Amino acid sequence: MARRSAELFTIACPCCEAELQIDPETHAVISHKEHKRPSSVGDLETAVSRLKGEAQRREDAFQKSLAQQKDHQKVLDRKFDELLRQAKENPDEAPPKRDIDFD
């Protein structure tokens, strides 16, 4: 049986931008060429300085989150005290509807 020489299709992968060569008869990938990406870091010193700055940014984000959590409890306590005060002032008023009450 003589093998037909079919032209391969060349397609660029939309995800990784690799170049794929596909056989139209078998629908198989015959060969591929990986896309060469330029180096994101041109200088080793810049990479090291960037890494040193990352630790400080993480620490700042953690401290900010910690402060928000401490303030969050104060806000909830304040809201509870205000609603309790309103409930004591108007004992005949019906409690507010909850989401579950609407079903």
Q: Which residues 6+ apart lie within 8 Å of 23 measured at CB? A: 6, 8, 30
43 vs 23 pLDDT, higher one: 23
Element holding 31 (H helix, E strand): strand 28-33
Element holding 75 (H helix, E strand): helix 44-89
pLDDT at 97 over 70: yes
Percent of the chain with pLDDT over 90: 24
Taking Cα atoms as reference points, which of 44, 18, 16, 51 lies closest to residue 33? Answer: 18
pLDDT at 25 over 70: yes
Mean pLDDT confidence for 87-91: 88
1 vs 50 pLDDT, higher one: 50
Mean pLDDT confidence for 65-93: 88
Return d(Cα 41, Cα 51) in angstroms, integer: 12
